[in-house]
Structure 1
Amino acid sequence: MHYVEASTLDTPATSMAAPRVYAWLVFALTFGLLLSDYMSRQVLNAVFPLLKAEWDLSDTQLGSLSGIVALLVGVLTFPLSVMADRWGRVRSILLMATLWSLATLACGIATNYGEMLAARFFVGLGEAAYGSVGIALIISIFPTYLRSTLTGAFMAGGAFGSVVGMAFGGVFAAHFGWRSAFFAMAIFGIALVVTYALTVNERRLRGSDAAAEQLRHSRPGFSMSLRNMFAGLFSTTSVICAYIGSGLQLFIMAAVIAWMPSYLNRYYAMTPDKAGVTAAMFVLIGAIGMVLCGVVTDRVCRHSPPRKLGMAIAYCLTTALVLGIAFQLKPGVLQLTVIGMGMFLVAGTCGPAGAMVANLTPTPIHATAFATLTLANNLLGLAPGPLLTGVLADRVGLMDAFKLVPLMALFAALTFWIGRHHYAQDIARVQAQTRAEA
């Protein structure tokens, strides 16, 4: 039986037939700020060994410095995204980028754990809504047929920024001290903020934004009331499972990314710069896997959307198996190779989960739906992953903690399996509602 993708029903055409040169310039600058976002977020992981030695920090404290940013992103993405839509996306982007850049600068002058934690708090506050606001701004000035391409490229930018932050952070820390790593990321962010402020403004975007606003409210029969919004976000079992399953699976990726430099430092005797660069390669492998797994999923499931949840289950189970084996191996080339194989698959669920969210929520609230997915990813995965791994490492050691982390993929697989069981009736319900509203 073939299913129509619910998200394609009654979707209005964009007001722009082709993107302007200015639109691509806005994309490039917004993408650059996304790189700054993740560089500022992940540079900390590259200097974990140096902070631990200088301030005599526990692994739990180190994990909290990483986890607090993801926690604030998860908690504040939704309300700050709503505020940005009301206040103006360009002004919100400039304010957010300025805040996280100055907070990153403050990280470089912190003298103890408390000051670093406070600075990281403001890094998280600045970065909280940037992903959802940035992609909303980009989509509003490009034609509809480019949305998948732009969304995929924008999401991959986060992983690339993580790679750059960890790699260059480790190099700067090794040659000029750990403070220089934060200073370098802050200067990059401030330079982009100035360039963005001189180049992008609401007046030049107003025509496209006004058209987009009209399109968002042009669908008859759907009221944008708070009650209807929450009903659309959580109306089916499948979409709830997509939120939860995605977050649980990303727990593994967040834990490995945060602690891989320390793992390489402790068990492979790598210097911080070499550990940072090596760990960054695993992040890059994860980013490539995220894109390629999404492509494979779309091709395999072109005529049968329910298979996407089946693919998500397969990615989860394979991740649990491969990484479970990897961390049982002794440190060496073989172990690093198998870890790389696991990292290639660990974020493969992002594509299927995102597709399910789009298919099972009304078109007018897709931005809010993806903000909800971001919330679940951060609260269930990106925030607790580094922190709980640090807590385990304090008790049983980092190597044994890594042996337990892949088990989270089994819970993610179970969640996606429950969603798959309900998907057929859920998609039929969404399609029926869409036809009734048209």
Structure 2
Amino acid sequence: MNWKNRPGAVLATLLTIHLLGQIDRNMLLGFSPQITRDLALSNAQYGFLVGAVWVLSYGVMSVLMGTLADRFSRPRLIAVGLIIWSVCTAASGTAHTFGQMVAARFLVASGEAALIPAAVALLYEVFAPQRRSAAIGLFFMGIPVGIGCSFLLAGSFGAEHGWRTTFLVLGAIGMTIAIPLSLLRERRGEQPQDARGEPFVAQVGAVVALLRGNPTIALTIVGFVLVHMVVAGLSFSQLWLVRERGFDGASIARTIGLLQIVFGTLGSLAGGALGDRYARRLPGGLATFMLILVLLAAPLMIAYRLTPAGSPLFYAGMCAGSFLPLALYGPAITVIQSLTPPQMRSTITGCCMLLINIFAAAIGSFAIGSVSDALVRAGVSAPLTKVLLGADIVAIASALFFLMAARRLCRKTPTPQGVNEAVLP
């Protein structure tokens, strides 16, 4: 397993795959006008396609793929997932009915669910403690860059060759990358720290028992999930900015996309790197660092909803909302991984992805839409402003859980990276 001795190459490979996965995932958004026209999709069908189909498949499969990653070769599991989602990305380009597109996108999500649980555990293993948060943060840089690239590809290559050809080309690229990746071998269980996980039911039960016995992990996960209410609010940002702040739809869409790429990427880089640098100096380590990030962003996020459109505070708040969620990925996942035994690390990451998809992507988005509709019917002025401010406050409430996690970590002896390593049997 000499490839594990080259952590930089491992990170570069996983980041490339993550970037491709995010492009494949979000390309449907970049081509939404063309696809809805060509397949004669209603708004409800399109919403189901980009929302419920993905949440149901990706969220549930993340847990299953996590248990498999804790038992078998992680590079080969990622390769299998990459083949599945690449084949189905190409199949998306051949779909001619709503049902065919649903089936293709469902399997794209199922394949992509193999990546993050396995990749996070690998990065945690191959990087030294003082570099883990930065490495994981760099890996999650694939989210904002992938989202931006999907729109850029749709507007450039896709504009010339069409959405069907674009999907076919992306599928071919993924299958090409999967071939050498599948050749990497990883024998689990050769060393004590590489202990294999249990079968699915027993593994999930072990994770539940771990959460009950270690409230610090549970508190960190709750805070991490809550902060994703910012992401749920992002789905309604363009509607809010056009309807209640008077922006032009096309111009503000470009602004949102640019800020997501710039400040989402900056968040991924800065959150991980600064977490590694300063967490060792803070009581409570990375949990305290995350608390500070939320408290610094909170006033700007609130000002974004209340100040006049176009003011400096308005744009500062927009940038803070793009920065904060990505800045927490490296520190939050490092804390969770540090307190979890090796044989459960992929599974618990899969559980985090499931919770984020259920509570933020599904329930959060539905709640924002439903409550704003109710306020409209009641004749309340600026309904989206009020609901999105409420969603931001829920995200800011994550600070309470990071505070409780930090206080628990302060009672124990910190490791050099500012969190406690799991006590292994």
Q: Give me the TM-score of the superposition, normalised by structure 2.
A: 0.76
Is 1:44 aligned to 2:28, yes or no?
yes
- Which residue of structure 1 aligns with residue 300 of structure 2? 322
1:133-148 mapped onto 2 (5 Å cutoff): 133-137=118-122, 147-148=132-133
CA distance in 1, matches of 2:93, 2:374: 30
Q: Distance in 1 between matches of 2:227 and 2:393?
A: 9
In structure 2, relative to structure 1, the CA distance for the partners of 1:187 and 1:27 (3 Å cut) is farther
* Correspondent of 1:34 among 2, 13, 18: 18
Residue in structure 2 matched with residue 205 of structure 1 by the alignment: 185
Whole-angstrom distance in 2 between the partners of 1:382 and 1:214 = 38
User: One-letter code of the match for 2:282?
Assistant: S
Select 1:130's aligned residue among 115, 124, 142: 115
Relative to structure 1, the CA distance from residue 110 to residue 277 in structure 2 (aligned partners, 3 Å threshold; closer, same or farther) is farther
2:102 partner amino acid: L
In the alignment, structure 1 residue 232 sits paired with structure 2 residue 210: yes
Q: Is the 8 A contact 1:49 1:262 kept in 2?
A: no
Q: In the alignment, is residue 58 of structure 1 matched against residue 43 of structure 2?
A: yes
Residue 176 of structure 2 is matched in structure 1 by: 194
In 2, Cα distance between equivalents of 1:437 and 1:87: 20
Between the two proteins, the alignment pairs up a number of residues equal to 406
Q: Distance in 2 between matches of 1:16 and 1:138?
A: 15
> Is 2:79 aligned against 1:94?
yes
Q: Shift in Å at residue 268 of structure 1?
A: 4.3
Deviation at 1:246, TM superposition (A): 0.9
Instruction: Tell me what 1:10 maps to.
Output: none
313, 317, 335: which one aligns with 1:356? 335
Q: How far is 1:370 from its partner?
A: 2.8
Distance verdict in 2 for CA 1:71–1:428, change over 3 Å: farther
What amino acid sits opposite 1:361 in the alignment?
A: T
Given that 1:320 and 1:407 are in contact with CA atoms closer than 8 Å, whether structure 2 keeps it comes out as no
- Other-structure match for 1:343: 322
Once structures 1 and 2 are overlaid, which stretch shifts more, 228-237 or 243-252? 228-237
The CA distance in 2 between the partners of 1:390 and 1:111, in whole Å, is 30
Matched, 1:411 2:397: no
In the TM superposition, residue 67 of structure 1 has moved relative to its aligned partner by 4.8
Q: What CA RMSD, in Å, does the superposition of the two structures yield over aligned residues? A: 4.2
**Equivalent residue letter for 2:21:** D
Which residue does the alignment assign to 2:345?
366
Change (3 A) 1:66 1:231: same
Flag the 1:294–1:135 CA change in 2: closer, same or farther, 3 A: closer
- State the distance in 2 between where 1:362 and 1:87 align: 16
Contact 1:360-1:427 at 8 Å conserved across structures: no
For residue 344 of structure 1, report the CA deviation from its aligned partner.
Answer: 2.0
Q: Percent identity?
A: 20
What is the correspondence of 1:16-27 to structure 2 with a 5 Å cutoff? 19-20=5-6, 27=11
Report the alpha carbon displacement of residue 125 of structure 1 after superposing the two structures with TM.
1.2
Alpha carbons of structure 1 residues 310 and 192: separation in structure 2 relative to 1, 3 Å: same
TM superposition score normalised by structure 1: 0.74
Question: Residue 348 of structure 1: SS of its match in structure 2?
Answer: helix
Is contact 1:73–1:125 with CA below 8 Å preserved after alignment? yes
Aligned to 2:359: 380
Structure 2: runs of 5 or more not aligned: 197-201, 377-381, 415-419
Question: In the alignment, what sits opposite 1:306?
Answer: 284
**Unmatched 5+ stretches in structure 1:** 1-14, 219-223
